Amino acid sequence: MASQNAEEYILKESLLNHEEDQLYAPLGKPGGRSGYRYLILMGTVVVSLLAGYSIGQTTVHEPVQYGLATPPGSFRTVWDLNTTFIQRPTLKSEAAWNSLVPVGRGFVHHPQLAPFVSNIAVFHQLHCLHGILVAYYKALESPPTSNFTDIPDFDHETGVKTAVPHIHHCFDYLRQTIMCAADTNMEVLDRETHATNGFGQTKKCRNYEHVFAWAERYANSSDTGILS
Ligand SMILES: *[C@@H]1O[C@H](CO)[C@@H](O)[C@H](O)[C@H]1NC(C)=O
Ligand SMILES: *[C@@H]1O[C@H](CO)[C@@H](O)[C@H](O)[C@H]1NC(C)=O
Ligand SMILES: *[C@@H]1O[C@H](CO)[C@@H](O)[C@H](O)[C@H]1NC(C)=O
């Protein structure tokens, strides 16, 4: 549908750019002036169709309500603050983070969807968020420094390896992750404070458990844990 619309649009554009007589010019002798024009016109039409097709390929229809794309998924849930995922890493909190990651760590092999071993993005994204959390607490405990390569990369208590320079890319990766998902759930402001922390309200989401189960079904290894 999208590709057809784009095709039609570009086709109309290119036709409007031509004089009527070019459209209806009779076929001249081969090599004659109108034959040449006809070839140019047909070439333009073919190029336009190809351009329209490739534009269509990048356009995906998404459900829209009142002009705004609706949130993905059909799973309703209420987000509540879970302090396990904000605290300084301990063995217990690390176990909780690890439990978010399926067997195979999200690396899957599937004949159609992942013919080459691939990682489902959400698991890479969680890995990045966890890495930032670990580095944040390490940085808080480190002497003031302007050099992130100075921050110790190993925590003896939890056994977590921080790899601070490695997680640096996560800021931009997560920025693009957030903009890509462009979550359009509405967060109602508190009537008095006119603020919201995003918790305590129903959200429409994908069902994480379903994605998790699929990842385990097509896991490409038996590795576990979130890794830092
Ligand atoms: C927070 O998450 C942990 C680990 O998944 C879970 O055991 C615990 O019940 C959660 N706490 C709340 C208040 O939801
Ligand atoms: C940061 O530390 C690394 C490794 O110790 C060093 O090579 C680099 O020069 C330092 N950079 C700054 C700005 O101090
Ligand atoms: C991992 O994927 C490769 C294909 O790239 C496949 O040959 C291999 O059997 C898979 N391993 C597991 C454990 O799924």
Write out the chain in H/E/C secondary structure: CHHHHHHHHHHHHHHHCCCHHHHHCCCCCCCCHHHHHHHHHHHHHHHHHHHHHHHHHCCCCCCEECCEECCCCCEEEECCCCHHHCCCCCHHHHHHHHCCCCCCCCEEEECCCEEEEEECHHHHHHHHHHHHHHHHHHHHHCCCCCCHHHCCCECCCCCCECCHHHHCCHHHHHHHHHHHHCCCCCCCCCCCCCCCCCCCCEEEECCHHHHHHHHHHCECCCCCCCCC
**Nearest ligand to the C-alpha atom of residue 147:** 2
Ligand 3 centroid to Cα of residue 118, in Å, is: 11
In whole angstroms, what is the distance from residue 73 CA to residue 210 CA? 11
Tokens for 175?
């920025």
Mean pLDDT over residues 149-166, rounded? 73
pLDDT band at 153 (very low <50, low <70, confident <90, very high): confident
According to the per-residue pLDDT averaged within each range, which of 3-7, 17-21, 54-58, 112-116 is highest? 112-116
pLDDT band at 55 (very low <50, low <70, confident <90, very high): low
> Residues 227, 119: contact at Cβ < 8 Å?
no
Residue 32, pLDDT score: 44
> Residues 127, 224: contact at Cβ < 8 Å?
no
**Nearest ligand to the C-alpha atom of residue 146:** 2
Closest ligand 1 atom to the C-alpha of 80? 14
Closest ligand 2 atom to the C-alpha of 147? 1
> Residues 96, 215: contact at Cβ < 8 Å?
no
**Nearest ligand to the C-alpha atom of residue 164:** 2
Does residue 213 or residue 140 have the better pLDDT?
213
Taking only Cα atoms into account, the Rg of the chain, rounded to an integer number of angstroms, comes to 27
Ligand 2 centroid to Cα of residue 148, in Å, is: 8
Is the CB of residue 96 below 6 angstroms from any atom belonging to ligand 1?
A: yes
Strand partners, 65: 68
Closest Cα to atom 8, ligand 3: which residue? 220
pLDDT band at 10 (very low <50, low <70, confident <90, very high): very low
Ligand 2 pocket test, candidate residues 146, 147, 150, most atoms within 8 A of CB:
147
Question: How do residues 165-183 score in pLDDT, each as one tens digit?
Answer: 778 899 999 999 999 999 9
Calculate what percentage of the chain has a pLDDT beyond 70.
72
Ligand 1 pocket test, candidate residues 78, 79, 81, 82, most atoms within 8 A of CB:
82
In whole angstroms, what is the distance from residue 216 CA to residue 135 CA? 28
In whole angstroms, what is the distance from residue 76 CA to residue 111 CA? 31
Query: Over 80: is that where the pLDDT of 40 sits?
Result: no
Query: Over 80: is that where the pLDDT of 130 sits?
Result: yes
Mean pLDDT over residues 180-191, rounded? 95
Mean pLDDT over residues 59-75, rounded? 89
Mean pLDDT over residues 60-75, rounded? 90
Lowest mean pLDDT among 48-57, 115-124, 178-187: 48-57
In whole angstroms, what is the distance from residue 112 CA to residue 104 CA? 18
pTM (2 d.p.): 0.73
Residue 159, pLDDT score: 75
Is the CB of residue 82 below 6 angstroms from any atom belonging to ligand 1?
A: yes
Residue 208, pLDDT score: 97
Query: Over 70: is that where the pLDDT of 16 sits?
Result: no
Cβ neighbours around 228 below 10 Å, total: 25
